[in-house]
Amino acid sequence: MLTEEQREIHLLKDNYSQKYGKELATQMEISSWEVIANFIQQGIGIGFIPDFLVREKSRQKTFKTLELGLPSIGYNLYAIFPKGEKLSKIPEFFISLF
């Protein structure tokens, strides 16, 4: 089970094609990682989901993970707030962590 076409899915499919010389067989595409995680937890198929969903304590015991060795993907994080507004200390500190 995969989500709809995203950067991660393209990376997975391309990596699989290069490694095995054939296209990755996909039985189902679901638009929600959470739904995929719930299906996996119920024993319905194998899914490609982000690590933060697996780290949830209730799921650690029900998931078997596999490191795929895919290259990491850089993401841009944006903080958006009203122009000219002075941020309080907590939001300023949070933004400074990145």
Helix (H, G, I), strand (E, B) or coil at 2: strand
| Predicted pLDDT of residue 22 | 94
- For the chain, domain boundaries: 7-96
In tens, the pLDDT along 4-20 reads: 778 888 888 888 899 89
| Predicted pLDDT of residue 23 | 92
CA distance 26 to 24: 6
Q: How far is CA 69 from the centre of its chain?
A: 14
User: pTM for the whole thing?
Assistant: 0.63
In tens, the pLDDT along 19-66 reads: 899 998 888 888 888 999 899 889 888 888 888 888 877 777 788 888
